[in-house]
Amino acid sequence: MEGAWPRRIIFWLLLLLGYSSQSWAQQEPDLSQTPLPEKPRRFLPVPTIITEPAVGAGLGLAGLFFHDSESNKDKATTATPIMPSGISVIGGAYTSNHSHLFALGHLAFWRQDTLRYRGAVGYGDINLDFYSLGQLQLGEPLKLNLRGPALIQTLSARWRDSHWFFGAKQLYRHVDISLAESPLSVFEGRWIDEINHILEQIEIENNTSGLGLVAEYDSTDSPFNPELGYNYNLEYMVFDSALGSDSDYHSYVFSALNYWHLGNRARVALRLDYEGVSNQGAGNLPVYVLPYIDLRGIAKSRYQGEDIVVAELELGYHLNDRWKVIAFNGIGRAANGWDKMSSASSKTTFGTGFRYLVSPRYGFRMGIDVAHGPEENAIYIQAGSNW
């Protein structure tokens, strides 16, 4: 879960810690002559209904602050989106299973986008169902509470005038782990109640602290809703006691996001992901460290393993300059070891949705996706790119 920690733990709140490109201002399609507001809108409130199956229904509110460069501050909004010099976000959320969180994030493009920074700090109190403990698969989910602060930041520099970026990444989390609900809660009786109370008071503290290297190739046309270009990302991180970590392990991430045009209005995108961890210590890794299949239609932490592979295809069609409809299909596998991946079962999802251009100045879209997975259907409120 290291490589995608912002979107998976903070979910939509840290959606801005994504991608950008020099060519953004040249690729956005002009599909109609709809007049656009000329007054710059540099603040965007984003109220949303949370429908993530892992945490239940809930409400969230985020404030997005767009920072224009000095040369762009006086420019009027046109059909061609403007590249901001930075974006800040502040927000929080609360869900029906009593999960809540608060976070601050910032994304910056410095020195004519030759230096990039992504950072976020937050505090979460999240209740999640886990279906495995290490290599032990559980028949019924174990309800755990994960509580504590987290910090993540990445600094990368562009290699000359290319689309390549190289840099470093830091991740720190302090997590207090306890039972959100005792596994014996289905039983009744005086002694059972006392045992449940004792079990729910047990708490384990764990720090995960790591440093790593990142390499990124980015030729996409938008930091929010890319539709043309490629974004390939490779990460290697070391979590060690010398860095203040209670768990010693390495994590590996490779993601390949591909975007193509099929004519003036049609779009196609393909996502390929791999995440893995290798235990370098004597004990078991904390349950929240293991990566999981991350697809629309599958609850977070539902299918975990030491190695995860995911592929997702998305088709889109612009009805006009504001509205876009999409359809998607995904597949993923989870295994405890790469040698077991070929025998792991595949989990497939599919769905449809739409996007609406809420900020023409910056090309920022929001929308709704409806997805069908192996166990359930799910509705997602999307802000920016879902990848």
Among the listed ranges 10-14, 266-270, 337-341, which one has the minimum average pLDDT value?
A: 10-14
Looking at the domain assignment, is residue 66 inside a domain?
A: yes
Strands 323-335 and 86-95, sheet pairing:
unpaired
d(Cα 109, Cα 158) in Å, to the nearest integer? 11
Residue 134: other Cβ atoms inside 10 A: 15
Looking at the domain assignment, is residue 197 inside a domain?
A: no
d(Cα 155, Cα 214) in Å, to the nearest integer? 9
Over residues 236-271, the pLDDT tens digits come to 999 999 999 999 999 999 999 999 999 999 999 999
Residue 237: other Cβ atoms inside 10 A: 22
Average pLDDT over residues 174-189: 72
Among the listed ranges 43-47, 97-101, 195-199, 373-377, which one has the minimum average pLDDT value?
A: 195-199
The residue assigned the tokens 């088709």 is 315
Nearest C-alpha neighbor of 282 from the set 251, 246, 307: 246
Residue 2 has pLDDT above 70, yes or no: no
The residue assigned the tokens 């991350």 is 294
Looking at the domain assignment, is residue 193 inside a domain?
A: no
Over residues 120-179, the pLDDT tens digits come to 999 999 999 888 877 777 777 888 999 999 999 999 999 999 999 999 999 999 999 988
Looking at the domain assignment, is residue 194 inside a domain?
A: no
What Cα–Cα distance (Å) separates residue 351 from each residue in 53, 254, 256, 273, 279? 15, 25, 21, 19, 36
Phi, psi of 27 (to 5 degrees): -115, -15
Residue 74 has pLDDT above 90, yes or no: no
Q: Identify the three-state secondary structure at position 219.
A: coil
Number of domains in the chain: 1
Looking at the domain assignment, is residue 310 inside a domain?
A: yes
Tell which wins on pLDDT, 204 or 232.
232
Q: Identify the three-state secondary structure at position 20.
A: coil
d(Cα 117, Cα 192) in Å, to the nearest integer? 51
pLDDT confidence of 7, banded at 50, 70, 90?
A: very low
Q: Is the CB of residue 54 less than 8 Å from the CB of residue 61?
A: no
d(Cα 371, Cα 377) in Å, to the nearest integer? 6
Among the listed ranges 187-196, 218-227, 302-311, which one has the minimum average pLDDT value?
A: 187-196
The residue assigned the tokens 């299973």 is 97
Phi, psi of 68 (to 5 degrees): -85, 150
Length of the chain: 387
d(Cα 117, Cα 115) in Å, to the nearest integer? 7
Domain encompassing residue 142: 5-176+204-383
What is the model's pLDDT at position 80?
62
Q: Is the CB of residue 367 less than 8 Å from the CB of residue 348?
A: no
pLDDT confidence of 184, banded at 50, 70, 90?
A: low
Nearest C-alpha neighbor of 242 from the set 291, 289, 207, 283: 207
Q: What is the percentage of the chain residues whose pLDDT exceeds 70? A: 80
Residue 191: other Cβ atoms inside 10 A: 8
pTM here is 0.82
| E strand segments, the chain | 43-50, 58-67, 86-95, 100-110, 115-133, 136-158, 164-179, 203-218, 229-239, 249-262, 266-279, 307-318, 323-335, 347-359, 364-372, 377-383
Looking at the domain assignment, is residue 181 inside a domain?
A: no
What does pLDDT average to over the chain?
Answer: 83
Residues β-bridged to residue 355: 324, 367
Looking at the domain assignment, is residue 184 inside a domain?
A: no
Q: What is the CATH number of the domain that holds 126?
A: 2.40.160.50
In this structure, which amino acid lies at residue 353?
G
Looking at residue 221, the DSSP 8-state letter turns out to be S
Looking at the domain assignment, is residue 259 inside a domain?
A: yes
Q: Is the CB of residue 46 less than 8 Å from the CB of residue 87?
A: no
Which residues fall within 8 angstroms of residue 108, CB to CB, at 6 or more apart? 85, 86, 116, 117, 118
